[in-house]
Amino acid sequence: MFDPQLRCPDGWRMVPIKTLATLIGRGLTPSYVDDSQVRVIGQVANRLDGIDWSRTRYHRHSEDSGATSKGRLVRRDILLNSTGTGTLGRVGIFEASPDSRECVADSHITIIRSDPADVIPRYLYYWLSSAPFQGLLGALTVGSTNQIELGRERLAAAPVLLPSTDDQTRILRFLDVQCQRIDSLASKCRQMQRLLSERADSLIAEMIGESALAKDGGAECAPLRRLLRKQTRPAGSTDEVVTAFRDGQVTARSLRRAEGYTMSSSTEPQGQAVEAGDVVVHGLDGFSGAIGDAEASGNCSPVNHVCIPCDGGSGVFYGRLLRSLALDGYLGLFATSTRERAVDFRSWELFGAIPIPNIRPDRQLEVEQLILAARGLRVELDQFKKLLTEHRLALITAAVTGQIDVTTARGVEV
């Protein structure tokens, strides 16, 4: 399967992937455990700028597990997300685990293992990341809309534009330098936003430390229901579904990725209305951080408590305060029942009785301003990171298709 529009520079060849690499995949559907021996890399952890190790999970190793052996990774294996729609075609490369544990790819990733005698693995990684290959993904997929995946035979026949080994080396030197600069800028963007958010969390920690929760004679605490009033609005006439994500953001699902929340099993309209500025607490996932102030309006599941501050308080502040108390384990101390992955706080009588610090409105506002500043920066940085991603793709594509001479390229800066 070759793209007729793809020009082959002089001295380059166009060959199918199967002549350069072995395709391994769909071999491991692990059961995850805490005291495990093997790291499992899934689609969410597989990223172009490096594997996100915080999103890997663990699997108990079994010597007689053929699936585990099939998915075992070796250095410079290329990882290609092969199912679904959200991250289909995302490419990563495996170098080593940060803790030297054995690693495997899960059943949603195809491992592409090349022989350095045929192609330098990192060159193949850049080619699979380029616009020509990514543009072929639609032609490589099989299955229905609900079960889409990259067809094994189609993927094996997909083209690779292959220069000489010397030219591959020169291209890698160029792209490694340029992509490192781009990744460094993206990292600095994330750090800027994180510093503002950490300052807000630090102020909240000080307030908790000064309260009667932390010391005798500390500042006043009050039952949560005296500071937040639970709302009982009917569902509105909108298709927007508002979710309390586990990272603390509460917003419409249409505005961000479809991961990081518990999907409702019901396809019926959600049960209550949410307005921007409300404090939303997930009755089962709140303990893991699914608490915050709503950044968008819509409807949400009845499993959430939707509240507004009493006496002119700040919903932004209370959302972050409750999230901090949840992550510290404080809220969980008051639960009367637990489920496999959740602390059950669906009872407002139970949840509303929990004592929390009663903070003056002016101090609440100080925290609110920091959080809102971080959000404003997030919008700008998201746009900037999008431009960096586009620039990275353009550089990779130009280099692996011979559109620029990497030996004489000058002034190609971010």
pLDDT for 69 equals 53
Query: Both 343 and 309 in a single domain?
Result: yes
Answer whether residue 106 is part of any domain.
yes
Radius of gyration of the chain (CA): 25
Segment (H or E) for 132: helix 131-134
Do 306 and 376 belong to one domain? no
Identify the band that residue 412 occupies on the pLDDT scale cut at 50, 70 and 90.
Answer: very low
Q: What is the mean pLDDT of the chain?
A: 85
Domain-located, residue 114: yes
In-domain check, residue 8? no
127 falls within a domain: yes
DSSP 39-98: EEE-TTT--TT---GGG-EEE---TT-HHHHHTB--TT-EEEE-BSSSSTT-EEE----T
CA distance 296 to 294: 5
Is 104 inside any structural domain? Answer: yes
Does pLDDT of 407 surpass 90?
no
The Cα diameter of the chain in Å comes to 81
Say whether both 342 and 396 belong to one domain: no
In order, the DSSP letters of 140-198 are: HEES-GGG-EE-HHHHHH-EEEE--HHHHHHHHHHHHHHHHHHHHHHHHHHHHHHHHHH
To the question of pTM greater than 0.85 for the whole model, the response is: no
Beta bridge partners of 105: 41
- How much is the pLDDT for 302? 92
Average pLDDT over residues 273-291: 91
Q: 238 with 187, same domain?
A: no
- Which residue among 343, 358, 373 closes a domain? 358
Do 227 and 285 sit in the same domain of this protein? yes
Token readout for 78 is: 């290329």
Give the pLDDT confidence score for residue 333 in this predicted structure. Answer: 87
403 and 307 in a single domain? The answer is no
pLDDT of residue 34: 46
For residue 150, pLDDT over 60 is answered with yes
Cβ-based neighbour number of residue 390 at 10 Å = 10
Q: Measured between alpha carbons, how far is 308 from 229 in angstroms, rounded to an integer?
A: 5
Two structure tokens written together for 404:
């620029």
Is 310 in the same domain as 406? no
Choose the final residue of a domain: 310, 326, 358. Answer: 358
Q: Are residues 130 and 143 in the same domain?
A: yes
Whether 129 and 181 map to the same domain: the answer is no
Cα gap 208→223, rounded to integer Å: 15
Q: Are residues 308 and 399 in the same domain?
A: no
Predicted local distance difference test score (pLDDT) of residue 26? 57
**Least confident stretch, 26-40, 68-82, 192-206, 287-301:** 26-40
Q: Indicate the range of 160-169, 235-244, 263-272, 358-367 predicted with least confidence.
A: 263-272
Beta-strand relationship, 13-16 and 228-230 = unpaired
pLDDT digits (tens, 9 = 90+) for 21-78: 999 975 455 454 444 578 889 888 898 878 888 888 877 655 444 444 556 899 999 9
| 231 and 253 both lie in a single domain | yes
Say if residue 205's pLDDT is above 60.
yes
Report the CATH number at residue 155: 3.90.220.20
Across 95-105, average pLDDT: 87
Q: Does residue 313 sit in the same domain as residue 296? A: yes
Question: What pLDDT was estimated at residue 7?
Answer: 77
Beta strand spans in 253-348 (E): 272-274, 279-282, 291-293, 298-300, 304-309, 338-339, 342-343
Containing 21, the helix (H) or strand (E) segment is strand 21-25
Separation CA 237–CA 231 (nearest Å): 17
Does 82 map to a domain? yes
pLDDT of residue 359: 95
Residue 144 structural domain: 13-162
Residue 266 has pLDDT above 50, yes or no: no
Q: Is the pLDDT of residue 160 over 90?
A: yes
Closest CA to 378 of 250, 180, 197, 203: 197
**pLDDT tens per residue, range 327-337:** 998 998 887 76
Q: Which of 52-61, 203-212, 258-267, 376-385 has maximum average pLDDT?
A: 203-212
Q: Mean of the pLDDT values across residues 327-348?
A: 78
Crossing angle of helices 165-210 and 315-327, in 10° steps, is: 100
Are 246 and 288 a contacting pair, CB within 8 Å? yes
Q: How many domains does the chain have?
A: 3
Average pLDDT over residues 131-155: 87
Q: Does 2 map to a domain?
A: no
β-strands 304-309, 279-282 pairing: antiparallel
Instruction: Give, in order, the Cα–Cα distances in Å from 81 to each of 84, 91, 254.
Output: 8, 7, 22
Look at residue 5 and tell me if it is in a domain: no
Q: How far apart are CA 133 and CA 254, in angstroms?
A: 28
Final residue belonging to a domain, choices 315, 335, 358? 358
Give the position of tokens 């009033």: 229
